Amino acid sequence: MAFDRFTHERERLAKGCERIAGVDEVGRGPLAGPVVAAAAVFLPEHIRAGLPKPLDGVNDSKKLSAKKRESLFEL
């Protein structure tokens, strides 16, 4: 069963927010080893439209095969 992942973001857009970013990090913790942080910003029209079909159902990139991650890279 699919659910709407952008409920919170749509509420923010309705209140006038223009940019909404998602941020994540991976590593051994801040200052304790190699750490990589990344942010993604969806355009408001993409938030309103929902996730592209290839991303529907992706919950955790660590559970994807290397081949699947590679195929999603350009999205």
Nearest to 10 by CA among 41, 38, 49: 49
Interval 7-35: pLDDT, tens:
888 999 999 998 888 888 887 656 667 88
**Distance of alpha carbon 65 from alpha carbon 40, whole angstroms:** 21
Position 53: which residue type?
K
In a domain, 56, yes or no: yes
Q: What is the pTM of this model?
A: 0.59
Interval 29-60: pLDDT, tens:
566 678 888 898 888 888 888 777 777 777 77
Q: Which pLDDT belongs to residue 14?
A: 93
Look at the chain and report how many structural domains it folds into.
1
Within 10 Å of residue 44's Cβ, how many Cβ atoms? Answer: 15
In a domain, 50, yes or no: yes
Q: Which pLDDT belongs to residue 1?
A: 43
In a domain, 58, yes or no: yes
Whole domain around residue 30: which residue ranges? Answer: 7-72
Bridge partners, residue 35, by sequence: 27
Q: Which pLDDT belongs to residue 48?
A: 85
Q: Cβ(44)–Cβ(18) under 8 Å? A: yes
Compute the residue count for the chain: 75
